[in-house]
Amino acid sequence: MSIAEIFDSMEYGPAPESDANARQWLQHHEGTFDLFINGSWTKGTANTRFASINPANGETLAQITQASAEDVEAAVSAARKAQGKWEKLGGYGRARHLYALARILQRNARLLAVLESLDNGKPVRETRDIDIPLVARHFYHHAGWAQLQESQFPNHEAMGVIGQIIPWNFPLLMLAWKIAPAIAAGNTVVLKPAEFTSLTALCFAELCKQAGLPDGVVNIVTGDGRTGEQIVGHPDINKIAFTGSTEVGRRIREATAGTGKHLTLELGGKSPFIVFDDADIDSAVEGVVDAIWFNQGQVCCAGSRLLVQEGIAEKFYRKLRARMENLRLGDPLDKCIDMGAIVAPVQLQTIEALVKKGCDEGADMWQPSWTVPKDGCFYPPTLFTNVAPATTIAQEEIFGPVVVAMTFRTPGEAVQLANNTRYGLAASVWSENINLALDIAPKLDCGVVWVNSTNQFDAACGFGGNRESGYGREGGIEGMQEVLKPKFLSKLQAYKETPSQKQSGKSALAPVSTVDRTAKMYIGGKQSRPDSGYSLPVFSAKGDFIAEIGEGNRKDIRNAVEAARKATAWTNTTAHNRAQVLYYLAENLDIRRQEFADRLSQMTGASAKDAQNEVAVAVRRLFTYGAWADKYESRVHNPPMRGVTLAMKEAIGTIGVICPDENPLLGMISLAAPAIAMGNRVIVVPSEMHSLSATDFYQVLETSDVPAGVFNIVTGRKSDLVKPLASHDDVKSLWYVGSAEGCALVEKSSCGNMKRTWTNHGLKRDWFVPEQAEGEEFLQHATQIKNIWIPYGE
């Protein structure tokens, strides 16, 4: 073909990337890999291996070791032994090591890129230009956090040994997301790469050795799901960080419930890609290409639900089909292709089955006219239109190159459709009206929103989801907070439930001089009788009967959630207004301080001085969160792009708060105040033994301009109310203070809908000590971060 003919046809010829160096590296290891434990290659005790396959042609690349329980034990022991010295090395010492890792990754960038494409099937253009540069970026960025740790995270320490389990879609990038912040903070790690894609993790292990990383800081154990289960279940691991499917994440959560392990989960998604009628259509079409056909759609945050405003839908679909017709699919090592291979036959079968399901359910499927390579795991880009919102393909994660399209008429309808899923990972909003885009972004229930862009990532910007997309963030300051813990936690003693009072058989009530007063619940701004019609007695410290409280049940919780749902105006009001209400609460509680002190003395037996001090500290704590209400603010990140990322601190929604028995007034205020200060609504379950502090407090609420539904009180037995709170989908988070057994019940009960939980893990806090009972730790749990990526300029 002549040059003139090439310019006339504009056809792309092949541009193959050489795999010679990658083949040489595999040959150097004789195509067989052991485990990387304590800085050296270690043979697996089970002497079992499995093949790593090139999905583009079915070729066996290497034999990988299947780790046994004994191997995992050795890796955890090595990590535990190394952790103390690694943390004591100090931030500067660790920063030098992370810097060295970043440099050696850059020097070996092309080897890693080619190896990733061979093992995973993604185009080398993506691994070369996106994945590997981001890997190095994470180590550079977190070298900085290591250097600044002492000043930026005072009174915090490493968690210890962290078990990490990563998926096959971004093998080396997910490794960097997990390892860089963990070791920067002084932790050591035991990481299991995905069974399908272990090669770049093993290459990274070799580079760790070459870079001089101390033995035992990073340990790589390969294997299938059994190896992951052994890591999750190991008693000497302090934290589990998992990226993968929601189903596996749920099993991990069930397995770790009650163990005290910290947990971050980055799970599945069904992310909306919203196109308004004023969008730049050609740019939005290219955005769809990047959103769903990047990495063959095998991306947890892929824009797999295309929502197009009705007036431009047909025009948009025509342009999208024309663009799909010109996508190139083929050999991942060809630098001119757009899409590579699906990672494995089992994943290809899953995609095919879900596409068939979509056709069976009545949606219209369209694929390009060109044929797909017959050798290897390839699947064409696929568009579904005429899709009903409740169909399987609109709700379930396909994890392949398949986009499902729906239309909407108004911005409000777009938000409803976008949030009509159990997931909440990411979203894209396309509009030339920045006011519209920034009005929509906060309304989307997800962790990341890209404005006029998609699939943007950076080490400085946290990433993670809501709802069944998991919880916790990776990257940025939020990611560092997930690998550090307050130092005081290591010194806390075990929580012991307050023993019930011995009943004297006497009554402290005198009907002649005291009018009987029933302590009702407080739901939706009104005093409410229990649905059950039953009551529970409350006794004084002497065992004398002093009152009855309502015995709450599932119906009372439902009513409280309904009331909280209607109180969204509190979330949307200004932080300044919330601060004023908290100050007013403090003022009115202070006016009645003697009454509350007398009640505390009566119920708990506290001396008059101690009871007065508890009330005084409760008033002060309300002032603290009045002060924080308009000062715990969002951040603006400056990633290496033409734009900014706004890390918005958002209210979580409705929070269930189950209070401790000790210091019943102060404990309740210490938990509820930060939640409402951040714009949440709360359903408080007060101490069963000492509920009268809470039922007296609703009289303060009624006189302090607290809107109906913001602060709800349901009395009763903790054990009866945990499960209704945990199972209710509109309760977005559940806080619990109590015994280790109670903490385990909360965590297990919340697995069904993957609700966020915060428990004391069976450890006793001192509610009078500010370090343990107030401040940013509480505010972090009362908020979730949404990163909104905003490009600017022409």
First-to-last alpha carbon distance for the chain, in angstroms, is 38
Q: Helix H segments across 278-404? A: 281-292, 313-325, 345-360, 392-395
> In whole angstroms, what is the distance from residue 113 CA to residue 119 CA?
10
Q: Are 297 and 382 in contact (CB under 8 A)?
A: no
Q: Which of 628, 623, 549 is nearest to 589 (CA)?
A: 623
HSE value, Cβ hemisphere, 13 Å, CA-based, for 120: 31
Annotation marks residue 300 as catalytic = yes
Q: Compute the Cα dihedral for 84, 85, 89, 95 and give only its sign.
A: negative
Report the amino acid identity of residue 37: I
3-state secondary structure 715-772: CCCHHHHHHHHHHCCCEEEEEECCCHHHHHHHHHHCCCCCCEEEECCCECCCCCCHHH
Residue 121 vs residues 27, 57, 218, 340, 738: alpha-carbon distances, Å: 20, 9, 26, 6, 49
Active-site annotation holder among 300, 377, 743, 751: 300
Cα 760 to chain centroid, rounded: 19
Pairing of strands 60-65, 32-33: parallel
Query: Can you tell me the distance from the alpha carbon of 638 to that of 251, in angstroms, rounded to the nearest whole number?
Result: 37
Record the tokens describing residue 53, joined without a space. Answer: 């396959």
- Neighbouring-strand partners of residue 756: 733
CA distances from 63 to 29, 171, 196, 240, 496 (A): 10, 17, 11, 27, 52
Rg (CA), the chain: 28
Which residue in the list 87, 266, 482, 777 is annotated as catalytic? 266
Give the integer Cα–Cα distance in Å for 451 and 784: 19
Distance CA 536, CA 413 (A): 46
Note whether 534 and 643 are within 8 A (CB).
no
Across the beta sheet with 470-471, what order do the strands follow?
Answer: 40-42, 35-37, 218-220, 188-192, 161-165, 239-243, 262-266, 470-471
Bridge partners for 486 per DSSP: 156
Q: Which of 9, 11, 14 is nearest to 336 (CA)?
A: 14
**Token reading at 589:** 């509680």
From 290, 31, 343, 5, select the one nearest 171 (Cα to Cα): 343
Within 8 A by CB and 6+ apart from 624, the residues are 673, 774, 775
Give the count of alpha carbons within 13 A of 412, CB side only: 0
Angle at which helix 90-107 crosses helix 109-120, to 10 degrees, equals: 70
Q: 91-115 burial, b for 16+ CB within 10 Å, e for fewer?
A: beebbbbbbbbbebbbebbbbbbbb
CB 715 within 8 A of CB 521: yes
The full DSSP string for 125-154 is HHIIIIIHHHHHHHHHHHHHHHHHHHHHST
Collapsing DSSP to helix, strand or coil, 432 comes out as coil
Tell me, yes or no, if 562 is annotated catalytic.
no
Residue 570, CA atoms < 13 Å, CB-side half-sphere: 31
Distance CA 175, CA 179 (A): 6
Question: How far, in whole angstroms, is CA 750 from its chain's centroid?
Answer: 15
Residues annotated as catalytic (active site), given as ranges:
266, 300
